[in-house]
Amino acid sequence: MNRWRPFHRIRESFVAKISLTLISVVLVLAFLFDLMLIRLQQKAYEDENIKHGLSLVRLLAQSVRIAVFSENKQDFIMPVNSILGHDDVVEADIFNNEGAMLFSRKKQENSLAQILDNPEHLASIFKNIKEAGEMHWQTPNSFIFWWPVYFNTSPSSDESLYFEMDDEPPARELIGYAALVISKQSFSEGVRNILINTGFIVVCFLSVGIFMSFVVVRRMTRPLSNILQKVKENTGSAGVRDDLSLLSETYGGMIQELEQSFETIKELKDGLEVKVSERTRELSDRQTQLEKANLKLSETLAKLQEAQQQLVQSEKMAAMGQMVAGVAHEINNSVNFISGALPSVKRLLGDLKELLASYEELEQMPNGDDRGRDIAAIQALKNEIEFAEIFTTFEQLLANIDEGTTRTTRIIKDLKIFTRQGAEKFKQADIHSIIDSSIPFIDSKLLKGVEIRKEYGDIEPVTCLAGRISQVFLNIMQNAVQAMNGKGTLNIRTWQENGQVHISFIDTGCGIEKDLINRVFDPFFTTKEVGKGSGLGLGISYDIIKQHSGRINVTSKVGQGSVFEVILPLSPPIFPMTRES
């Protein structure tokens, strides 16, 4: 930025204008202030000198009073000389009360000559002193001071010779006058010094002040200068005019615009009132509509609740169907072990029967050459039926049958737990065995590529309705397996904490979207195709866990998986012994 503009711009720059005005005001003020200061100081200095002179003449009057009393010339010398010892004191004169000069001593020519030669003037001076107690005046080169000389008067009684008399004030009598002439030489020097000093100080302050005010004005007007710059840019370089008129024009424009704006605001305000009342009416109409809608809604809600009740019932039926399907499949599997083994057993038994018949033939034949031939035939049969491996195969088949029966027995046992739910009672149950017994009911088609990992912790038995809890676990696991769509890991973790058992099902499935996570427990909420899911599974589970005074927490990340954590108290606080109905 060009700090110091060319000189010819000064007249136009408002900064310069303000600075110049300020500086000239400061100059005038400083000049007046200087004059006043000098005047005051001079006055104070003069007063000081007069005071000093008066105290000197008073001292003189005091010290010569014995001499005046006795009118002894000799006695004057010492006190008068001591006063004349002061540098500026040039003359001392002593008179008695009749006006006769008793003593006079001077260093210069007689400044009082005129007065002393004029007895009338002198008498008037004495009269003045008597009245005012002192007198002083100035001539061009000297101060003149007068002071009366007093002396104590005689006491009135003989007793005062011996005692202090308190009540009689010390009476005094005017016995003469003392005059002192003090030259103005050092006084004028002092005044000159005052002039020089004051002038110097004022000049110093003035230069600092002018500099400071210039700097301050520049600082303060910088924002204004910026505005001005902008205005000039906007109005084009027609800125040959000076800054101040440009500024006032700009401000004028701004004020006009402001007034217009206020006008507009006022109009808008008036229109607004009308609009507000319209809106209020509309709103009240809306409200009545809303109330009507609300009534309808609550009716619908009642209907819906009814429907839900029915659906819950049908869900139960559906679950039952699913379960039956599961059970059938399982039993089928187990039976397959047995039925698969049966044809082989039959064939082996046939082979063995044939072999045994050949032996019987041989027993009944007499010994002959035929016997040797028959033994060879038996040997050939043995090779044919792989006699050596026949028993091994047999044992294998029996093991298969055994497996089939064990599985069937187990399924039936599990089914017992599951079916007993309606008439169940709260009992202490091992959560781990509940989980284990629920897993077989998961849809086995979906389970194929899924690994189930169990990380069972050390937990105490929980007082619960085991069948219902199993239903919850099955539901959660079923959802998890469904979410993984045939590939992934289901982690089941249990632990105990603060008298509560935590059961956590961690899957690596598709996960739940953030805005849906709060809705998964809502009845009928499902993301599955029509016919596949009813959306009631988690809703029912939620009710069951609540019945046990527990909680279910869900956390999930889309694409990574979900965690369903069931938390159950070791025993529900309000312990319902039976929940038949």
Ligand X SMILES: Nc1ncnc2c1ncn2[C@@H]1O[C@H](COP(=O)(O)OP(=O)(O)OP(=O)(O)O)[C@@H](O)[C@H]1O
Residue 152: enclosing H or E segment and its boundaries? strand 142-152
Could you give the string, one character per residue 426-465, with x where binding to Mg ion holds by CB under 5 A and - elsewhere?
A: ----------------------------------------
Q: Which of 534, 548, 566, 568 binds ligand X (CB under 6 A)?
A: 534
Minimum distance, C-beta of residue 116 to other proteins, in the bound complex (Å)? 25
Could you give the string, one character per residue 142-171, with x where binding to other proteins holds by CB under 8 A and - elsewhere?
A: ---------xxxxx-xxx-xxxxxxx--x-
Q: Which of 112, 538, 552, 567 binds ligand X (CB under 6 A)?
A: 538
Cα(449)–Cα(479) distance, integer angstroms: 15
Cα(370)–Cα(449) distance, integer angstroms: 63
Burial class of residue 447 in the structure, from the number of CB atoms within 10 Å of its CB (0-12 exposed, 13-18 middle, 19+ buried): middle
Q: Which one, 160 or 264, has the nearer CB to other proteins?
A: 160
Minimum distance, C-beta of residue 79 to other proteins, in the bound complex (Å)? 11
Token pair belonging to 19: 């600075």
Q: Which of 507, 545, 552, 567 binds ligand X (CB under 6 A)?
A: 507
383 binds other proteins (CB under 8 A): no
Overall residue count recorded for the chain in this entry: 581
**Contact range with ligand X by CB under 6 A, out of 152-160, 197-205, 344-352, 504-512:** 504-512
Residue 209: enclosing H or E segment and its boundaries? helix 185-234
Closest-CB residue for Mg ion? 537
Cα(578)–Cα(423) distance, integer angstroms: 9
Q: Which does 534 bind (CB under 5 to 8 A by kind): ligand X, other proteins, Mg ion, none?
A: ligand X
> Is the distance from CB of 29 to CB of 213 less than 8 angstroms?
no
- As a three-state string, the secondary structure of 366-414 is CCCHHHHHHHHHHHHHHHHCCHHHHHHHHHHHHHHHHHHHHHHHHHHHH
Q: Which of 66, 293, 307, 342 binds other proteins (CB under 8 A)?
A: 66
**Contact range with ligand X by CB under 6 A, out of 22-30, 33-41, 487-495, 525-533:** 525-533
537 binds ligand X (CB under 6 A): yes
520 binds ligand X (CB under 6 A): yes
Q: Which residues is 95 bridged to in the sheet?
A: 101, 177
Token pair belonging to 343: 């044809």
Fill in the DSSP letter of residue 184. S
**Contact range with other proteins by CB under 8 A, out of 43-51, 72-80, 274-282, 467-475:** 72-80
Could you give the string, one character per residue 168-197, with x where binding to other proteins holds by CB under 8 A and - elsewhere?
A: --x---------------------------
Helix (H), strand (E) counts: the chain: 13, 12
Q: How many residues bind other proteins (CB under 8 A)?
A: 24
> Is the distance from CB of 457 to CB of 529 less than 8 angstroms?
no
Which segments of 92-158 does DSSP mark as H helices, in order? 113-117, 119-132
Binding footprint of other proteins on the chain (CB under 8 A): 66-67, 69-72, 74-75, 151-155, 157-159, 161-167, 170
Binding footprint of ligand X on the chain (CB under 6 A): 475, 479-480, 483, 507, 509-512, 520, 525-528, 533-539, 562
